[in-house]
Structure 1
Amino acid sequence: MSGEGDHSDSTQMRLAAVVIAVAMIGWIVLQWIGKEYGWAPRWVFLVDLAAIGGFVWSLLVTWRIWRRKNG
């Protein structure tokens, strides 16, 4: 049973890592596109909020896995 939980945890950690990477790369690219095309600040702020959402989600997933392993 422990092996199954470890597999689930590693899958969730991998997903969290992918979300962090995509959020960061997407944020950088969309900031650059916004600057090039002169997007209104409210749209650029929306991109910021989406990136923050991805980071917070990844943090919560990582924290939950850490608590499960240490608690």
Structure 2
Amino acid sequence: MTGEQIEQQMARKGRMVAVVIAGSMLLWMAAQVVGKSLGLPGRYALLFDFAVIAALVWALVNIYQIWRARQGMQG
């Protein structure tokens, strides 16, 4: 792979991470509003919370991988 292809791959991965972060936050906020309006028990809110935490941990791991890859390319 050329350096330009690797950069494009990292940029694509970065965009995916951004979509996951934004999407998970929007879904979490919507779940909070819908859950409250439907009168769902708190355990469902906790389920959504854990799902969003898992998505954010996935995003954090991928951000770290992108950062390490860029560090490796520079030096």
Give TM-score, length-normalised by structure 1.
0.95
Aligned to 1:44: 45
Where has structure 1 moved over 6 Å in runs of 4 or more?
A: none
Alignment gaps of 5+ in structure 2: none
Q: For 1:2-39, what per-residue CA distance to the aligned partner results, in whole angstroms no more than 9, with x for missing partners?
A: 01100100000000000000000000000011111111
Query: What does residue range 44-63 of structure 1 map to in structure 2 within 5 Å?
Result: 44-63=45-64
Question: More displaced, 4-13 or 35-44?
Answer: 35-44
Q: Which has the larger radius of gyration?
A: 2
Q: RMSD value over aligned CA atoms?
A: 0.7
State how far apart, in whole Å, the 1-side matches of 2:57 and 2:65 are.
12
Letter in 1 for 2:51: A
Alignment gaps of 5+ in structure 1: none
Identity of aligned residues (%): 34
State how far apart, in whole Å, the 2-side matches of 1:20 and 1:40 are.
25
Give TM-score, length-normalised by structure 2.
0.91
